[in-house]
Structure 1
Amino acid sequence: MEEDTDFRIKFSSLCYINDHVGFCGTIKSSPSDFVVIEIDEQGQLVNMVSDEPLNKIHSIPYQPNTFAKKPKLNRQNLTFEEPNQELDTLTKCLGGDPDLQSGLKSEDTNKDGTLKCAEEKADVLGSLLDEKTNELLSQFACDTKEKWNCTTELFGPPPEFSLGRILDKTQRASLHSAVRQKFPYLITVGKNSEIIVKPNQEYKELCHLVSEEEAFDFFKYLDAKKENSRFTFKPDTNKDHRKAVHHFVNRKFGNLVETKSFSELNGNAAHPNVVITVKFREKAHKHKKRSLLESQERKVVYTAFTLQKENLEMFEALGFLAVKLGVIPSDFSYAGLKDKKAITYQTMVVRKVTPERLKSIDKEIENKRMKMFNIRSVDDSLRLGQLKGNHFDIVIRTLKRKNNDSAHLEERILEAIENVKDKGFVNYYGPQRFGKGRKVHTDQIGLALLKSEMMKAVKLFLTPEDSDDPVNRAKKYFLQTEDVKGTHSRMPEFKVRERAMLESLNRFGMTEEGCVQAWFSFPHSMRIFYIHAYSSKIWNEAASYRLATYGSRVVEGDLVCLDGNVDDELLPNSKVHTVTKEEESTNAYGIHQVVLPVLGYNIQYPKNKVGEWYHEILSRDGLQTCRFKVPALKLNAPGCYRQILKYPHNLSYQLKDEQDTAVKTKDPCISEAPLSLLISFDLDSSCYATVCLREIMKQDV
């Protein structure tokens, strides 16, 4: 097989969105020509050492009395009432009913009638959230109750209010409990370290069976989770009604609590008062509580650091660091993968390694073109996608016009950059995701894994390139002989993944089951990477087909995102809408809102020719019945949605000659010195700079 000719043809055939001519140039002449710096969730470049605590809470405000499709808004232009009104707001949200307030248990109230628990939780919330967010949370709670009490039918998804991302586990747990205790008619949901507050529909449902006072106290009881405590509903003589309450509690919370009815003596033997008592189920195994000192000794250590690497594949870097630190590659976590042929900066977190231990290997890793800095202790690991994006500083060398183009080079460059700046670029996955320049691409391995062809996947992984070096000589020997032990002895030590797979094959044998075990020598993030690579390749082809078929207009059956801020990993099906014929005729949506599914078991397809195309491709690849789960490897791919178009941010550029001086002539193409373009921009997470440059230059890079 020749060097990825087929892949180049396929990638070159992908559509563009802009119609400018473009220009020619050379990308990645050296790693220093392509600098990638991660942008963290707070919008800071990770190569800038900061003393700011990693776990600072950044909250996203809620606009009061607004239940639109975009409840997360910027704080600008919002006005706030006087602070310290949480308890008044709570009283109002309870309906302002004197009977309801007086019906609360005496031990839960102060002499002035205010709620003890509310005051305590207000203190907790005040210590975790800033004053404005606290005020907006109270207003959100009040608006939720007003919406429930409204007689007019309301449409659209339930409102949400984000408290922002809280990286500290302890702070998150405290905040979850504080909100639920103060506002039992709200629920909190964790989503990638972000806490989302929503109306508690179960609370509303219970209010149809019992008084609001009882519902309020019942949900506070549930959230408190006090061992051996009990909750009792008001006496009830109606057997059918009691049965309905029993069924509700057991259906919704039966795994947590149990209910029983008890008769009360009221002097009426024919119609005795009966109360329903709720208590927490006993745990099957009660463990002794560890002492504080013992707990501290057993606490997992997490150390964060910024990794700078040059011309080094990320998995190879992780393998080397793991060997030096005496841990395994899966002990490292990161927010995103980075290019190989580049200088990259990214945040990483390693488990079970102290900052002092990490600093001790600083000199050793410099020989592998790596550096570490901003080393500090943190409370948890990182997750993929836990970043705002990436900043790129790129040099494009040997600039020239396209063949038969008589326009000035500077004009072509300006036209191309401004076009992409205004109209965006097709959000393809970049060639590096598939192993650019290799005989076997990662998507081919992913397809074999999805079809449970484990031995084929192993052989694809160990397929050599044409170059004659120790690594490829070892791979050629393996394919010729299947001598695992001999191949392992020939494989250089720095090829950590290959050696790990060979060690596993030597132990379990070169069989289908042995190959399954061999894949377990890779961490989960690496195994699922190959599945994602196949899904990414199909997404690229789907996006190109969609644009070739329908162009930039939004048509019936397209999928559009109803939320202004699309997060590819988190966008639920409820936020995806299928365009109707009427919406097509009124141009209700723009092409920037169109999304396409990344293959998985929990996605929906467009209801037009694009959806048909997806099914044809799956049939072509033998995946028509695939559920995108590989039980043997414990891999599940739920799928997600990805916007067709993306836009570069903070884009700037400058032309320079080989002497590194800025070009001032109006027609730089007449200069004898070769020209270079210095271009800088930011991209959202999961976007590829090479794809943006491809759209600008109109050439594969």
Structure 2
Amino acid sequence: MERDSLSCFISDHEGFYGTIKNSPQDFVVIEIDINGQLVNSPNVHEEHTKRPSQPSPATKRDKLKQSNVKSDDTDILNQDCFDLNVILGPAVNKELEHFTNKMRVQDNEQEKGELSLGMYPDKHLRAVVHRAVRYNYPFLQTVTNQTEIRVREEPDFKELASLASEGEAEEFFRFIDAKVPGSAFTFLPDDSKEHRTSVHHFVSRRFGKLVETKSFTDQQKTSITVRLRERSKQPRKRTTADCQEEEDEVTLYTAFILRKENLETLEAISYMAAVLGVLPSDFTYAGIKDKRAITFQAMVVKKISPERLLNKVSEFERRGMQISHVRSVSEPLKLGRLQGNHFDLVIRDLKPHGKRELAELQQLVKDAVENVKNRGFVNYYGPQRFGSGSCVQADQVGLALLKEKMEASLKLFFTPEDADDLQNKAKRHFLLTGNAKESLALMPAYKARERLMLRAIHRYGSGEEGCIRGWLSLPHSMRVFYLHSYCSRVWNEAAKYRLQKLGFKPVQGDLVWAGAEKGLRNTEDLNTPQVHVVTFEEEKDDLFSLDQVILPMPGNTVKYPENLLGQWYKDRLAQDGLGSCRFRVTPLKLNVPGCYRPLLAKPQNVTYSLRTTEEPQGQSDETCAPSISLSFDLDASCYATVCLGEVMKCNLS
């Protein structure tokens, strides 16, 4: 592997030669979840996607016997397993407990007020918060203001508690909130007809559209039963309130850990979607993992039960995929919902650069690893960001899409590799004949993206309209991937230019992370209010360090540096015909706001061991080349191949 004199390195160690990814076993990637745990660890689960485990039928029946709630179907939602300490976090949960304790001892309504539980942009998470809070505190009302959830006293709770008991009122509101089909709630026996009438009137006035009440006598004791109305008995137009109620409904989601080998993440998803008979867009994930590796990552699939997923294990294994930690959850995964990735790597065939002796290798390796451990590396996007293809890469497709050259983007998308497998034969056939139907017959079933495109083109033609329909047939995350790939290419070039022209210290006009804490930050956290432009005085006083410098990913909301790098961005985009680009592709419903990415990244928890001798790999091996085993953690969206490039002082792309 040759040294790349054009790459920008920030350390002054010499590095060494070596080879990576000799086999998938030499490159193992394990996702680190938002709690800082490896996703393949026993009993690990996502903090906010945890769903109460379903109890056995016997347990459910026992709970039904112990409460006033009766059901024609024992498959009741066991909401009492909602753990607010997990869902809200310890700090917010403690605030909520303090708020409820204070509220219960105050008689003055004006003093009770409201409490904010925070902002929850994801509607599925909002639904979990609403239901969990109301189950644990039935006397509270939860309301949503845009993405903020606030709690206050439920105005009707006190009235019902005065008619029945506080315990009954709590159980009744839990029953109402659960909306379990076929279920019923029975108040304790009541001999006073006048009192029963008051209860009937309260329930009918407050929940009449949802339930119906009826008195019945058993062993000379009269009670009131409240039963949910059948849906067919309430045919009415959907209102805003109905839509808000639907937010509380829990969709079927199944989470699992995917172990894949020598497969792209999107290719693995396409194959699983084909096997399960769902769309690729029904799968959600936190990040895309390397192809030439063994990787472990969290995934969630919609509309598939754990049992059905487990039934397909053998088919997945034939494609180099294994699944584990299968469980029901209440929401999909969000892209970027991870802390980072853990890497266990082996670099083989080590030898020094230049005229160094092999005996000096141990010191060279130590210097290299320690330098990068302490100083970090330039946070370039790795080669997998641009696709594994050797002919046309994803950033070229993204550029065509940004220029709204739909037919050109389609041809780039179907440009084949040099391989002679079925998928590349199908691509060649399409480009040669334009016959989408015949190409579809050749395309393997697991190539879901290509098949979706070909179906749309067969139906709508290969002109402008057909190309747009083809792109729209892909999930949004797949469409926008190509645009992000182009923007990543520009970012890489900007980083190299910045270091070559402006050096290794923050200068006037640079953008820096201006948060309370110094150092690297996840890209998701770098929003405009925290971005600061370095002044002449700040440069002179060395107020900032290089690890605080951030560069923008092109988009329609970002600020560009106010120095020659800012002009470089303008010239670079103009060179690609994007001088007036709005970074929106309206026909494809795509928008690229842009973001900020730290110029430097730094590995954590670094360990290594050098082997100067190995077991022979074959009978013809006369000598055994040394190797290094290296383990470290990287923040989300940082690339191990780039880190290794800094360690070895080689271009590994």
Query: TM-score, length-normalised on structure 1?
Result: 0.68
Mapping for residues 329-344 of structure 1, pairs under 5 Å? 329-344=280-295
Of 525, 530, 539, the match for 2:477 = 525
Q: How far apart, in 2, do the equivalents of 1:327 and 1:525 lie?
A: 16
Q: How far is the alpha carbon of 1:655 from its aligned partner?
A: 1.4
Of 516, 519, 527, the match for 1:572 = 527
Unaligned runs of 5+ in 1: 1-7, 63-79, 91-107, 129-160, 198-218, 227-283, 662-670
SS class of match (2:440): helix
SS class of match (1:371): strand
Q: How far apart, in 1, do the equivalents of 2:353 and 2:44 lie?
A: 49
**2:339 alignment counterpart:** 388
Kept after mapping to 1: 8 A contact 2:3/2:649: no
Q: How far is the alpha carbon of 1:693 from its aligned partner?
A: 0.3
Mapping for residues 428-447 of structure 1, pairs under 5 Å? 428-447=380-399
Q: Cα deviation per residue 1:307-345 (whole Å; 9 max; x = unaligned)? A: 001001111111111112111000000000001111000
Of 417, 439, 457, the match for 1:505 = 457
Q: Structure 1's 35 and 85: CA in aligned 2 closer, same or farther, altered over 3 A?
A: closer
Kept after mapping to 2: 8 A contact 1:58/1:165: no
Kept after mapping to 2: 8 A contact 1:109/1:115: no
Q: How far is the alpha carbon of 1:363 from its aligned partner?
A: 1.5
Partner amino acid, structure 2, of 1:551: G
Q: How many residues align?
A: 523
Q: Cα deviation per residue 1:162-195 (whole Å; 9 max; x = unaligned)? A: 999998433434799999x99x9xx9885xxxx8
Q: Is 2:24 the partner of 1:31?
A: yes
Mapping for residues 69-84 of structure 1, pairs under 5 Å? none
Q: How far apart, in 1, do the equivalents of 2:393 and 2:155 lie?
A: 51
Mapping for residues 166-177 of structure 1, pairs under 5 Å? 168-173=125-130
Q: Is 2:569 the partner of 1:617?
A: no
Kept after mapping to 1: 8 A contact 2:120/2:126: no
Mapping for residues 400-419 of structure 1, pairs under 5 Å? 400-406=351-357, 408-419=360-371
Mapping for residues 521-560 of structure 1, pairs under 5 Å? 521-560=473-512
**2:206 alignment counterpart:** none
**1:376 alignment counterpart:** 327
Q: How far apart, in 1, do the equivalents of 2:4 and 2:452 lie?
A: 32
Q: How far is the alpha carbon of 1:110 from its aligned partner?
A: 5.9
Kept after mapping to 1: 8 A contact 2:123/2:247: no
Partner amino acid, structure 1, of 2:43: S
Q: Is 2:560 the partner of 1:605?
A: yes
**2:626 alignment counterpart:** 675
**1:303 alignment counterpart:** 254
Q: How far apart, in 1, do the equivalents of 2:290 and 2:471 lie?
A: 24
Kept after mapping to 2: 8 A contact 1:57/1:166: no
Q: Is 2:444 the partner of 1:492?
A: yes
Kept after mapping to 1: 8 A contact 2:127/2:247: no
**1:585 alignment counterpart:** 540
Q: How far apart, in 1, do the equivalents of 2:294 and 2:145 lie?
A: 40
Mapping for residues 175-186 of structure 1, pairs under 5 Å? none
Q: Is 2:405 the partner of 1:453?
A: yes
After TM superposition, the structure 1 stretch with the greater mean CA deviation from structure 2, 36-45 or 488-497, is 488-497
Q: How far apart, in 2, do the equivalents of 1:675 and 1:444 lie?
A: 39
Of 642, 646, 650, the match for 1:691 = 642
Kept after mapping to 2: 8 A contact 1:500/1:521: yes
Q: Is 2:598 the partner of 1:646?
A: no
Q: How far is the alpha carbon of 1:17 from its aligned partner?
A: 1.3
Of 292, 297, 315, the match for 1:346 = 297
Q: How far is the alpha carbon of 1:522 from its aligned partner?
A: 1.2
Q: How far apart, in 2, do the equivalents of 1:617 and 1:176 lie?
A: 51
SS class of match (1:375): strand
Partner amino acid, structure 2, of 1:45: L
Identity %: 45
Q: How far apart, in 2, do the equivalents of 1:555 and 1:296 lie?
A: 49
Q: Cα deviation per residue 1:524-554 (whole Å; 9 max; x = unaligned)? A: 0000000000000000000110011111111
Q: Cα deviation per residue 1:576-600 (whole Å; 9 max; x = unaligned)? A: 0001111111111110000000011
Q: Structure 1's 188 and 43: CA in aligned 2 closer, same or farther, altered over 3 A?
A: farther
Q: How far apart, in 1, do the equivalents of 2:104 and 2:422 lie?
A: 77
After TM superposition, the structure 1 stretch with the greater mean CA deviation from structure 2, 468-477 or 541-550, is 468-477
Q: Structure 1's 87 and 528: CA in aligned 2 closer, same or farther, altered over 3 A?
A: closer
Q: How far apart, in 1, do the equivalents of 2:567 and 2:247 lie?
A: 56
Q: How far apart, in 2, do the equivalents of 1:685 and 1:373 lie?
A: 22
Q: How far is the alpha carbon of 1:436 from its aligned partner?
A: 3.9
Task: Supply the RMSD in Å over aligned alpha carbons.
Answer: 4.0
Q: How far apart, in 1, do the equivalents of 2:557 and 2:121 lie?
A: 26
**1:13 alignment counterpart:** 6
Q: How far is the alpha carbon of 1:300 from its aligned partner?
A: 1.8
SS class of match (2:524): coil
Q: How far is the alpha carbon of 1:484 from its aligned partner?
A: 2.2
Kept after mapping to 1: 8 A contact 2:37/2:44: no
SS class of match (2:328): strand
Q: How far is the alpha carbon of 1:493 from its aligned partner?
A: 2.9
Partner amino acid, structure 1, of 2:545: G
Q: Cα deviation per residue 1:108-130 (whole Å; 9 max; x = unaligned)? A: 99676586745xx78xx9xx9xx
Query: TM-score, length-normalised on structure 2?
Result: 0.72
Q: How far is the alpha carbon of 1:24 from its aligned partner?
A: 0.6
Q: How far apart, in 1, do the equivalents of 2:450 and 2:329 lie?
A: 32
Kept after mapping to 2: 8 A contact 1:58/1:164: no
Q: How far apart, in 1, do the equivalents of 2:629 and 2:26 lie?
A: 9
Q: How far apart, in 2, do the equivalents of 1:321 and 1:87 lie?
A: 47
Q: Structure 1's 224 and 636: CA in aligned 2 closer, same or farther, altered over 3 A?
A: farther
Q: Is 2:424 the partner of 1:472?
A: yes
SS class of match (2:259): strand
**1:626 alignment counterpart:** 581
Q: How far apart, in 1, do the equivalents of 2:411 and 2:3 lie?
A: 24
Q: Structure 1's 418 and 167: CA in aligned 2 closer, same or farther, altered over 3 A?
A: farther
Q: How far apart, in 2, do the equivalents of 1:459 and 1:225 lie?
A: 62
**1:270 alignment counterpart:** none
Q: How far apart, in 2, do the equivalents of 1:422 and 1:674 lie?
A: 28
SS class of match (1:674): coil
Kept after mapping to 2: 8 A contact 1:17/1:425: yes
Unaligned runs of 5+ in 2: 51-85, 157-235, 617-621
Q: How far apart, in 1, do the equivalents of 2:648 and 2:479 lie?
A: 34
Q: Structure 1's 109 and 535: CA in aligned 2 closer, same or farther, altered over 3 A?
A: same
**1:425 alignment counterpart:** 377
Partner amino acid, structure 1, of 2:592: A
Q: How far apart, in 2, do the equivalents of 1:332 and 1:470 lie?
A: 25
SS class of match (1:41): coil
**2:34 alignment counterpart:** 41
Q: Structure 1's 592 and 166: CA in aligned 2 closer, same or farther, altered over 3 A?
A: farther
Q: Cα deviation per residue 1:246-305 (whole Å; 9 max; x = unaligned)? A: xxxxxxxxxxxxxxxxxxxxxxxxxxxxxxxxxxxxxx96549889xx979974201100
Q: How far is the alpha carbon of 1:21 from its aligned partner?
A: 1.1
Q: How far apart, in 1, do the equivalents of 2:145 and 2:98 lie?
A: 22
Q: Cα deviation per residue 1:614-672 (whole Å; 9 max; x = unaligned)? A: 000011000011010000000001100000001000000011255469xxxxxxxxx94
